[in-house]
Amino acid sequence: MTTSTSTPRSSKPKVLRVGKIDFAQEKWAQLAQVAEIVDCDSPNREQFFEDLKTKYSDVVSIARTFYSVEQTGRFDAELVSHFPDSVRSVSHNGAGYDQVDVEPLTARGIQLSNVTVPVEAPTADTAVYLLLSTLRNFQIGHDLAVKGQWPTAKCGGAALGHLPESQTVGILGMGGIGRAIRDRLKPFGFKKIIYYNRKQLTPELEAGADYVSYDELISQSDIICISIPLNANTRHSINKEVISKMKDGVILVNTARGAVINESELLQALKDGKIGAFGSDVFEHEPQVPQELLDLPNVVSLPHMGTHAVEAMKNMEEFVVDNILQFLTTGKVKTIVPEQYSMDIALEPLVKT
Ligand SMILES: NC(=O)c1ccc[n+]([C@@H]2O[C@H](COP(=O)([O-])OP(=O)(O)OC[C@H]3O[C@@H](n4cnc5c(N)ncnc54)[C@H](O)[C@@H]3O)[C@@H](O)[C@H]2O)c1
């Protein structure tokens, strides 16, 4: 009789980690007590497809980061078709999951989770910064000061801005971030805060913002804050035709995704003066952004810094692990994406608590 000296295969469910972890090492160590963590070292998409057949052939959950798209490409139908049958959940580290196609996952009964609460405050702070800067021409003043052209009447300063008391703010997309924007704007004393959402919220969730139709929001707002997800329905939904219905001199603030706006038509409207100012954290083809757009004095731009803070990054990374832990222990991820709310999920927990 021979005795085997080889290490026994782990009986723990396997979790594939795609992309780098910077802050949540402790939380991942907690997950490692109940799951085997496999780091994705596939250098490119083609090799990833190969590795899914071999060394990742029995993973049950996949965690992915926003920047891992540079390694594997989008999680689209082609990529999902290479998943082994063992995959039951994908946890994306971000609120916006436009890098992942939901439909092919749903077709295979694979749950998709995103990051919700941890992004709301930091992204809403970013929207408020962009809004105040565009409303008061702060960046124009800053740029003049840096150039040594202190903005007095004598040397020609920034045009006068406006105060909140005269301004109606329209929030397009009243989800977690939209509501956090509203909460931050209320103390400033805006004339009115209106919103449009796929569904009207309950009065408790509306918390003083008035629900209006899409057309009303577009035509009545002095400032429009965009906080809707990017998907096939919303791509280029802010276009020439919609812009033409906005107030002359309207301010647009975008912390959602660049491609919600048709960027070339936006540029033209900014040059024509139809749009008074644009404050944006996101651009259609980022990191490629037309220099002409960035150079306009009435454009305040940030290179996608909505959650660019140590605490936000840590909270987001930990939230991904929470989703995986909940999936393993209950059979259901913690924050399934809205498209899958009605998906039939009847999975046995893979880990006993
Ligand atoms: N700039 C950043 O760093 C950053 C950070 C986090 C999120 N985001 C972006 O912000 C978006 C919103 O995030 P969230 O956490 O508020 O998401 P959320 O799902 O909580 O809210 C989105 C809201 O938009 C509504 N909606 C969807 N489609 C709509 C449509 N066509 N018209 C009107 N309303 C519509 C939904 O009903 C929902 O209430 C994300 O999808 C993401 O792309 C950007």
Residue nearest to atom 38 of ligand 1 (CA): 175
Cα distances (Å, whole numbers) of residue 116 to 184, 196, 267, 329: 18, 20, 31, 20
Q: How many A from CA of 262 to the centre of ligand 1?
A: 17
- Where in the sequence numbering do the catalytic residues fall? 257, 286, 304
Could you read off the pLDDT of 98-124 as tens digits, one per residue? 999 999 999 999 999 999 999 999 999
Dihedrals φ, ψ of 73, to 5°?
Answer: 80, -175
Q: Per-residue pLDDT for 149 more than 90?
A: no
- Please indicate, yes or no, whether residues 91 and 195 belong to a single structural domain of this protein: no
Q: How many A from CA of 175 to the centre of ligand 1?
A: 6
- Asked whether residue 267 is assigned to any structural domain, the reply reads yes
- Regarding an ipTM greater than 0.85, the answer is yes
Q: How many A from CA of 280 to the centre of ligand 1?
A: 15
- Asked whether residue 318 is assigned to any structural domain, the reply reads yes
> Which residue out of 93, 194, 214, 228 has the highest number of ligand 1 atoms within 8 Å of its CB and is therefore the one to mutate?
228
- Please indicate, yes or no, whether residues 156 and 207 belong to a single structural domain of this protein: yes
- Please indicate, yes or no, whether residues 325 and 260 belong to a single structural domain of this protein: no
Mean pLDDT (the chain) is 94
Would strands 299-301 and 275-280 be described as parallel, antiparallel, or unpaired? parallel
> Which residue out of 171, 227, 280 has the highest number of ligand 1 atoms within 8 Å of its CB and is therefore the one to mutate?
227
- Please indicate, yes or no, whether residues 218 and 132 belong to a single structural domain of this protein: yes
SS3 84: coil
- Asked whether residue 7 is assigned to any structural domain, the reply reads no
- Please indicate, yes or no, whether residues 36 and 132 belong to a single structural domain of this protein: no
- Asked whether residue 274 is assigned to any structural domain, the reply reads yes
Q: Per-residue pLDDT for 308 more than 50?
A: yes
Phi-psi region of 113 (alpha: psi -120 to 50; beta: other; left: phi over 0): beta
- Asked whether residue 98 is assigned to any structural domain, the reply reads yes
Contact between residue 71 and residue 48 where contact means Cβ atoms under 8 Å apart: yes
What single-letter amino acid sits at 44? N
- Please indicate, yes or no, whether residues 84 and 128 belong to a single structural domain of this protein: no
- Asked whether residue 259 is assigned to any structural domain, the reply reads yes
- Please indicate, yes or no, whether residues 185 and 286 belong to a single structural domain of this protein: yes
Between 353 and 147, name the one with better pLDDT: 147
SS3 289: coil
SS3 214: helix
Could you read off the pLDDT of 224-272 as tens digits, one per residue? 999 999 999 999 999 999 999 999 999 999 999 999 999 999 999 999 9
Can you give the pLDDT at residue 154?
60
Identify the CATH number of the domain in which residue 216 sits: 3.40.50.720
Q: How many A from CA of 229 to the centre of ligand 1?
A: 4
Q: Which atom of ligand 1 is nearest to the CA of 178?
A: 16
Residues with CB under 6 A from ligand 1: 95-96, 116, 119-120, 123, 173-178, 196-199, 227-230, 233-234, 255-257, 281-282, 304, 306-307
* The pair of three-digit structure tokens given for residue 319, joined into one six-digit string: 């939230």
Alpha carbons 176 and 27: distance in angstroms, whole number: 24
- Please indicate, yes or no, whether residues 77 and 162 belong to a single structural domain of this protein: no
- Span 79-104, average pLDDT: 97
pLDDT band per the 50, 70, 90 thresholds, residue 349? confident
Q: Which atom of ligand 1 is nearest to the CA of 179?
A: 16
Range of the domain at 32: 14-114+310-340
pLDDT band per the 50, 70, 90 thresholds, residue 4? very low
Residue nearest to atom 10 of ligand 1 (CA): 256
- Please indicate, yes or no, whether residues 250 and 266 belong to a single structural domain of this protein: yes
Q: How many A from CA of 309 to the centre of ligand 1?
A: 20
Structural domain total, the chain: 2
- Asked whether residue 154 is assigned to any structural domain, the reply reads yes
- Please indicate, yes or no, whether residues 165 and 295 belong to a single structural domain of this protein: yes
Q: Per-residue pLDDT for 353 more than 50?
A: yes
Q: Is 292 exposed, middle or buried (0-12, 13-18, 19+ CB in 10 A)?
A: exposed
- Please indicate, yes or no, whether residues 171 and 92 belong to a single structural domain of this protein: no
Alpha carbons 111 and 28: distance in angstroms, whole number: 20
Cα distances (Å, whole numbers) of residue 36 to 50, 258, 318, 350: 20, 37, 17, 12
- Please indicate, yes or no, whether residues 31 and 109 belong to a single structural domain of this protein: yes
- Asked whether residue 8 is assigned to any structural domain, the reply reads no
Residue nearest to atom 9 of ligand 1 (CA): 256
pLDDT band per the 50, 70, 90 thresholds, residue 3? very low
Can you give the pLDDT at residue 235?
98
